[in-house]
Chains A and B, each alone.
Chain A
Amino acid sequence: MILLTKRVGISYLLNLVCFKPWIQLDFKWLCNQGSLIDVRDKSSECSGGAFGAEFRRFSLERSKPGKFEEFYGLLQHVHKIPNVDVLVGYTDVHGDLLPINNDDNYHKAVSTANPLLRIFIQRKEDADYSAFGTDTVTRKKNVLTNVLRPDNHKKKPHIVISMPQDFRPVSSIIDVDILPETHRRVRLYKYGTDKPLGFYIRDGSSVRVTPHGLEKVPGIFISRLVPGGLAQSTGLLAVNDEVLEVNGIEVSGKSLDQVTDMMIANSRNLIITVRPANQRNNVVRNSRNSGSSGQSTESSLPSSTPNILANFLQGEEESDEEDIIIEDSGEPQQIPKAAPTSLESLTQIDLLHEPTQNGFLPSSEVNLNHSACNVSMEYEVQNPDRKSLEEDGTIITL
């Protein structure tokens, strides 16, 4: 397999774009050469050092990518920058620029190379963190215009918040269209991060509007957010938010311990519906008058909502946690399902059933388009566990 690495300073994305045809030509040529190790150094080791881009090509064995550390050392070696801290990135199949900073995403990057892996290296101090993420490639045009208009680009120094530990979404607000404005359905993506979920819940009482007037009913509330935790970093959950549902199941009538167990059981793909204590930041829908009272929608929460959510969830759930099986070959692998399930077919079926039905899902015609995304995420999920098993050093290879 052939890798092409490129060291580039932020200001010279322009160069990247310019050189692109050349690179691809070069690929072709390299491909013809088979697995020959060919390192092309196109560096223009300018005296300033700041304005330059250099290219290297070399090959790696796909089946044995090795460790990230080794790879990093290799990059530093081939670029002759042994003591410079760099950020390593690559472009995935969707053209997104994604970082490589640990074994997992390194392996992932290697496995997605088709057959070429484009690696980008940036010096850490002048790195542009915003360059990572989705749609980086399509955004390049904007980047280009930015570059072309130097006054715009110039000296809006980037505030470095943190290293981009992960390029996956960590949280989202979902189902905005079907929920009352006073409610918020938050999805926390725990996988792939080492961050704790980081929140606590407690018992409490809330006031409900009922036909008999205002009534005090027991409820479950968020009592504490752990600083630096996932819940806090999303900004979507706050202390004293009332928890209404966990993954589509209403919590009313359930004890604190039951809700705790439900949340932990769903912790890898936790969807909680809350009524925020602070109602000022609610999403205001265009279709609605801003004057409409949020409270009035409270009791009219459509009964179909959990149903739809449940359907959606089941499809998600199926993929969110697949057990790992280590066969006697010693190769960890995911436990496959009898047949992959498409989200669409699921929704169709489940609309005809109660949402609380057994989680068993029928296999049906495969709609790979839809599940493709899920599958790629699954592998990401597996990695930490595989790692821990390997650390154990107890896997016996037969």
Chain B
Amino acid sequence: MMKFRFRRQGAEPHRERLRHDLFAFSKTVEHGFPSQPSALAYDPRLRVMAIGTKAGAVKLYGAPGVELTGLHKETATVTQLHFLAGQGWLLSLLDDNSLHLWEIYQKEGCSHLEETRSFGLPARPGSGAVCSPSITRVTVILPMSSGTVACLGTEGGAVYFLALPALVLLEDKTLFQDEILQSVPDDYRCGKALGPVESIQEHPQDAGRLLIGYSRGLVALWDQSTRTVQHLFLGNQQLESLAWEHSGKNIVSSHSDGGYMVWAVGGSGQRTQQPITAVIPYGACDPSAFPHSNPFVIFSGGMPRASYGDRHCVSVLQGRILATLEFTSRVIDFFTVQDPEVPEGGFENPRALVVLVEEELVVIDLQTPGWPTIPAPYLAPLHSSAITCSYHISNVPLKLWERIVSAGEQQSPRLSSAVSAWPINGGKNLAQEPTQRGLLLTGHEDGTVRFWDASGVSLKPLYKLGTANIFQTDCEHNDSLNQAGEEEWPPFRKVGCFDPYSDDPRLGIQKITLCKYTSKMVVAGTAGQVLVMELNDDKSEHAVSVATVDLLQDREGFTWKGHDRLAPRNGPIAFAPGFQPSVLVQCVPPAAVTAITLHSEWNLVAFGTSHGFGLFDYHRRNPVLARCTLHPNDSLAMEGPLSRVKSLKKSLRQSFRRIRKSRVSGKKRLNAGSPSSKVQEANAQLAEQAGPPEVEMTPVQRRIEPRSADDSLSGVVRCLYFADTFLRDAAHHGPTMWAGTNSGSVFAYALEVPSQEKFSERAVEAVLGKEIQLMHRAPVVAIAVLDGRGNPLPEPYEVSRDLAKAPDMQGSHSMLISSEEQFKVFTLPKVSAKTKFKLTAHEGCRVRKVALVSLASTAAEERVENCLACLTNLGDIHIFTVPALRPQVHYSCIRKEDISGIASCVFTKHGQGFYLISPSEFERFSLSARNVTEPLCCLEVSRLQDTSSVTPKVQQANGTHVPHSSGISIPPHGSPGSPEERQATFSPGSVDSPNSSMENPLDTTGDITVEEVKDFLASSEEVERNMRNASEDEVRPAGIFIK
């Protein structure tokens, strides 16, 4: 033994190299919907959209798999985003009044997004200290169609011009309000200023003419070249927005009274007093009053405040058809996507309406009658109901995959066509086809389980399973209510799926497990319900058999004070194709299920709550075992979740204190570098800023006391495990079940499972084989049995289907027990300690999540090591060898204050993982140097001018730049042959890189086609509404949008 220790020391350099080949940490991609979006922009030429968030992140999305992320250095809300169409530049305005220019650049064949320069508007010259800083606050941005100038409207009423992309102020072109006021009649002026600039619109045909709208209602048509006012529209209503009709003959203005006006630009006279039409669509009017014509009118808001002020609406009006799309969260912005060619009649033909609301992105197909929604292939609102648990399955067999996909298609038929119909499809996805299918299941508060395709960069919804229909809940489906709505005016139509309100919290899903070979699934919930489900390709109507298992086992003196169990519905229930429940097991008392495990070969499911655990034979449909784990002194276990609210509050308060503490002591920030981690940090900073002012507290104290047997909730069952191993003697192995509790106890049962043919005849029996009490009494978070070679036992059916090597049943097995404080390996069947690692005693951190992962080496695919990956309460990930338990590497991954992030973490079998960075977003990370899933995409941009002189970043594309520290820039580690293959795919993309555009400088204007101009005009019209919704809580403005 002693020799062995010495040798290990000597072998270090070799091991070091191996480690390098095996382990690498990177945060790769964010799945889901960005938290707190605040701005939206669309580039009709690149066909990509950009979303800005309150944390200062900018995210670009194109075709599925095309995703770019950037983050402002300042943690400030992105209030506006504007594309310089087709050029790969993006202008952002933050709420600190700074402008930033982002560039999409190519490096190693892939596109990246980077901020190149920023600009702050100087105070008005001359008035210096007198004027308040708000005078130069930018209210409107209009990038001109030429792509070289941007107009900035300000709160003070002045309009500034900015050269692009250099972001240099063209001072001589600045238009102050005085110049406009000169031509305004005195009776209109009334000695007052015109107010802030509300809107600037470029003339659709003549780029030299600008329409400038002021807050008080005045709209001026300004000729840049002659610097004269060509026309004045003397509006009397508070202006909200302006839009040109495509022909340039009419303009539309929207007003704070909920109406919009159409004005003629016709040549007669220099002033217009009256609009052609003025419409208040949701005033006391009749829908037939709308003129019968083809154009679409799309606007947000406009609702009579008194009756519908609390609704979030976008109205779409085409001729006599009006749809009032009602969203469950605030409308941020919207745009339309149209076909490139403009048909006769001068109106574009919008294909789709894209609406960004606070919690989701909704796309409406405007070409299909009835205007259905198009399901998005990404930006999935993961949090449509709060996520309560998640579960990952890797290497899903094709058969199961197809069955799930087909179940999902029958559920929402448009899902399959979504990818082809998806209108925002710019860019090329360069990532290789995922080598295996990964399925992420999320359990939600409303009792649904959602199936996501987590194989690649974009997380696609596959199928949704509801469990609420099995139970009688208070709120039956309010379909009848919706039908009544048909008669209602305005015709509200609910769109989107964000619905955070749960009918019954007891329906919440706590644990999910799925056998990928037999398609059996077990779902367990908050009220102690355990549902055994089977995948059925046909719809069915059957009764679910119900069984109750008493986990108290006649224990005296306990009364459950928590919620009641869910009442199951009687009689046959209709189930759609997909997973259909066959058995419902209800625990008594109905406490939340804390652990489940399934063995589909033995037809057994084990489940645990805070009171004990049970074993159920779902083939014969009878309980096999129930065991109470309660300590006699544990009173809290009987209180149920409701009375624990107080302690939850307390722990929240404590965690807030910890956050403050860490800020005060100025502890290092985690893992700067990758843009996504920065996004997280920024989100966190934002959350902290948003928090209420903190009251000074007394110094925090911590009690030092060892855990005792009668600590509260010591009986909570934390993990359950099935294994075919040696429990009673070294000669015979057999089925066993293991359970670990919060107080460090492990119970091992030997199971008598009849052979396959005799399942129906003989019952399963369970006898207690061993009880282990860990002396340190820390909660047992995981149990696993390792075979004679030290590998984890395979899953049921894995060996019989030739998908895994048979375990070594010759050598002696060992058992790995992971508690919150230490890892220990014991021999079997005689339980004696072999190795251990005391994590808490050494590092001061506690185990939160642990998983056995197999990591393949980058050097050789067949070199695979089984490791123990562990996430601690400090948000660090540690990797240990198995079974020697030697620490290998550790990475900081999640901020330690991010408790929900740590709690939501799941590891995959092959060394990746997911955790929630906001209620709506999963961060994907990788521990493996080989198995990495990250976005690799290419956007072909065509710069209008050579930018190498002004853009130092262009050099990065030439490869002279030091590799970016972010995970995105690292090439993927696919199969060994992949680098060559990728080189081939990249070469066409590089033609359009800035590098090549340097060699063939484009003429600034010569290459612009009419089509491009039109496209650009469309985009600039959309652009002006960005600000509108910002202060919507008070005023519900009506943005008008005519196509």
Contact = CB atoms under 8 A, between A and B. Distances in A.
Report the 9 A-B pairs with minimum CB-CB distance, sorted nearest first. Answer: A258-B844, A267-B706, A362-B1, A321-B775, A265-B840, A260-B702, A326-B771, A265-B841, A262-B844
Interface in A262-315: 262-268, 270
Contact of A328 (B700, B703, B770, B886): B770
A349 B2 contact: yes
Contacts of A265: 776, 778, 821-822, 838, 840-841
Contacts of B276: none
A360 B837 contact: yes
Nearest to A221: B699
A261 B846 contact: yes
B661 interface: yes
Given A323-B773, A336-B832, A360-B885, A197 B704 contact: yes
Contacts of B776: 265, 268, 321
B704 A359 contact: no
A349 B873 CA distance: 33
Given A349-B5, A385-B775, A395-B771, A335 B833 contact: yes
B706 A203 contact: no
Nearest to A267: B706
A328 B769 contact: yes
Interface stretch (A18-26, A36-44, A161-169, A247-255): A247-255
Given A262-B844, A360-B884, A223 B699 contact: yes
A160 B204 CA distance: 102
Given A201-B702, A321-B776, A266 B841 contact: yes
Given A261-B844, A264-B705, A360 B774 contact: no
Contacts of B768: 328, 396, 398
Contacts of A155: none
A126 B290 CA distance: 109
A215 B878 CA distance: 33
11 contacts: A200-B701, A224-B701, A256-B702, A259-B702, A263-B704, A267-B707, A325-B772, A326-B770, A328-B769, A362-B1, A389-B773
* Most chain A Cβ neighbours within 10 Å, of B699, B773, B841, B845: B841
B489 interface: no
A202 interface: yes
Interface string B707-743: 1011000000000000000001000000000000000
Contact of A391 (B632, B667, B703, B834): B632
B4 A362 contact: yes
A111 interface: no
Given A322-B775, A323-B833, A363-B1, A255 B661 contact: yes
A325 B832 CA distance: 9
Given A200-B701, A256-B702, A328-B769, A356 B775 contact: no
B989 to A, nearest CB: 47
A359 B825 CA distance: 12
A257 interface: yes
Nearest to B772: A325
A376 interface: no
Interface in B876-892: 884-887
A7 interface: no
Contacts of A326: 770-773
Nearest to B771: A326
A337 interface: yes
A12 B887 CA distance: 62
A398 to B, nearest CB: 6
Interface residues of B, number: 63
B838 A324 contact: no
Interface in B1-24: 1-2, 4-6, 9
A362 B707 CA distance: 29
Contacts of A267: 704-707
A268 B773 CA distance: 15
A325 B817 CA distance: 14
* Most chain B Cβ neighbours within 10 Å, of A264, A337, A362: A264
A200 B832 CA distance: 35
Interface in A227-264: 247, 249, 251, 254-264
B646 interface: no
A225 to B, nearest CB: 11
Given A353-B9, A364-B1, 17 more contacts: A203-B661, A204-B699, A260-B703, A261-B846, A263-B704, A264-B705, A265-B841, A267-B705, A268-B776, A321-B776, A323-B824, A324-B775, A328-B768, A328-B769, A352-B9, A356-B842, A362-B2
B773 A223 contact: no
Contacts of B771: 325-326, 389, 395
B619 interface: no
B883 to A, nearest CB: 10
A218 interface: yes
A358 interface: yes
Interface in B794-840: 821-822, 824, 826-827, 831-838, 840
A349 B835 CA distance: 17
A231 to B, nearest CB: 8
Contacts of B840: 261-262, 264-265
A386 to B, nearest CB: 9
Nearest to A272: B704
B709 A358 contact: no
A118 interface: no
Interface string A369-391: 00000000000010001001101
Contacts of A364: 1-2
B650 to A, nearest CB: 15
Contacts of B842: 249, 262, 356, 359
A200 B702 contact: yes
Contacts of B770: 325-328
A338 interface: yes
A200 B833 CA distance: 33
B767 interface: yes
A262 B826 CA distance: 23
A190 interface: yes
B975 interface: no
A132 interface: no
B874 interface: yes
Contacts of A249: 841-842, 844
A251 B706 CA distance: 19
A177 interface: no
B715 to A, nearest CB: 11
B838 to A, nearest CB: 5
Nearest to A381: B775
A223 to B, nearest CB: 5
Nearest to A326: B771
A261 B772 contact: no
* Most chain A Cβ neighbours within 10 Å, of B703, B831, B873: B703
A82 interface: no
Nearest to B846: A261
A257 B658 contact: yes
A255 B662 contact: yes
A324 B772 CA distance: 6
Contact of A203 (B6, B699, B704, B826): B699
* Most chain A Cβ neighbours within 10 Å, of B4, B632, B838: B838
A322 to B, nearest CB: 6
Nearest to B629: A394
Contacts of A381: 775
A196 interface: yes
Contacts of B706: 190, 197, 264, 267-268
